[in-house]
């Protein structure tokens, strides 16, 4: 629990941080809330030479509505997201998911950008970002890139982010009829299974649905067969029950550990898909 020696630098701006990352030639890591990185450093599983602190950059810490879209800065803490009046009104699913991360101490320090970049297979945000079809905004030495969530999460702890790129924030359209449902791992309070669902409703019909899953496999994925089973159907609990039944059936591999076997996890995917969809429908 004692990290190796490292240099600490505090960035003064996003561009300054990019410059410091580039100058370090791969030896630097970004520090924001430190709730993924610092435990790894204490276990000596990560031994960066330099930490570039972006946790205090004001340009990265904000939840705002702009041109009909919602933007959240990467250094916004889970607690700020969980308690944001804007999000509770315009995107309750995200506030709900943030409020179920870890415990209060973790939520006070951990940040949205840090969690997205780390891409723990059991983190909560990937499911929500997928269900929101959010854009991840990243900036690097060559300027800005906007990446759809479905393209961003690639594999175990692997995202579409270059070595000197930084997540600046996310952007998505408001989504009121969305919900997140999660089976907590009782020690870490990561998700054994977490499902985020967003329903586009057209009167009594589900025009389209997006369903994101976390915890079950290497990285967050969309439950496309469920989405297809919902699209164009009446917005009823019967539709949801039928669609939820097939949730996860197409997944080739599902995680297994002491907290939940593969069999149990597979059984929980439909349970939490149904819960998330029912809660989303109740919010229309």
Binding site for another protein (CB under 8 A): 1-5, 42-44, 103, 183, 186-188, 190, 258-261, 264, 267-268, 271
Start-to-end Cα distance in the chain:
47
The least CB distance from residue 259 to another protein, in Å, is: 7
Instruction: Supply the DSSP string of 110-166, one letter for each residue.
Output: -BHHHHHHH--TT-SHHHHHHHHTPEEEEEETTEEEEEEHHHHEEETTEES--TT-E
Closest to another protein by CB, 161 or 268? 268
Closest to another protein by CB, 18 or 277? 277
Within 13 Å, how many C-alpha atoms sit on residue 203's CB side?
1
Cα 252 to Cα 215: distance, rounded to the nearest angstrom:
14
The least CB distance from residue 78 to another protein, in Å, is: 16
The least CB distance from residue 264 to another protein, in Å, is: 4
Cβ-contact 86, 172 below 8 angstroms: no
Closest to another protein by CB, 14 or 271? 271
Strands 7-10 and 50-53: parallel
Closest to another protein by CB, 171 or 188? 188
Closest to another protein by CB, 76 or 197? 197
The least CB distance from residue 254 to another protein, in Å, is: 14
* DSSP state at residue 210: E
Closest to another protein by CB, 17 or 244? 244
Closest to another protein by CB, 4 or 12? 4
The least CB distance from residue 53 to another protein, in Å, is: 20
The least CB distance from residue 149 to another protein, in Å, is: 25
Phi, psi of 212 (to 5 degrees): -110, 140
b/e 27-48 (16+ beta carbons within 10 angstroms → b): ebbbbbbbbbbeeebeeeebeb
Q: Tokens for 247, please give them.
A: 């949730």
The least CB distance from residue 66 to another protein, in Å, is: 36
List the one residue out of 229, 199, 224 whose CA is nearest residue 213. Answer: 224
Displacement of CA 283 from its chain's centroid (Å) = 21
């Amino acid at each position: 629990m004692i990290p190796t020696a490292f240099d600490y630098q505090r960035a003064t701006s996003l561009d300054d941080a990019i410059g410091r990352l580039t100058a370090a030639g791969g030896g630097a890591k970004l520090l924001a809330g430190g709730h993924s990185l610092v435990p790894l450093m204490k276990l000596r599983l990560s031994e960066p030479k330099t930490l570039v602190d972006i946790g205090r950059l004001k340009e990265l810490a904000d939840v705002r509505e702009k041109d009909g879209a919602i933007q959240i800065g990467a250094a916004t803490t889970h607690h700020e997201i969980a308690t944001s009046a804007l999000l509770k009104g315009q995107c309750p699913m995200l506030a709900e998911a943030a409020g179920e991360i870890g415990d209060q101490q973790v939520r006070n320090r951990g940040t949205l950008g840090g969690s997205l970049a780390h891409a723990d297979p059991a983190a909560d945000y990937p499911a929500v970002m997928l269900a929101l079809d959010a854009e991840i905004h990243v900036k690097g030495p060559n300027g800005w890139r906007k990446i759809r969530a479905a393209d961003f999460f690639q594999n175990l702890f692997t995202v579409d982010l270059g070595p000197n790129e930084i997540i600046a924030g996310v952007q998505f359209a408001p989504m009121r009829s969305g919900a997140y449902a999660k089976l907590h791992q009782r020690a870490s309070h990561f998700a054994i299974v977490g499902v985020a669902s967003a329903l586009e409703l057209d009167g009594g019909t589900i025009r389209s649905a997006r369903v994101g899953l976390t915890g079950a496999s290497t990285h967050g994925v969309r439950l496309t067969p469920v989405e297809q089973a919902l699209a164009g159907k009446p917005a009823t609990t019967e539709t949801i029950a039928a669609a939820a039944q097939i949730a996860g059936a197409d997944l080739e591999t599902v995680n297994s550990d002491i907290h939940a076997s593969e069999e149990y996890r597979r059984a929980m995917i439909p349970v939490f898909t149904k819960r998330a969809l029912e809660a989303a429908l109740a919010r229309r």
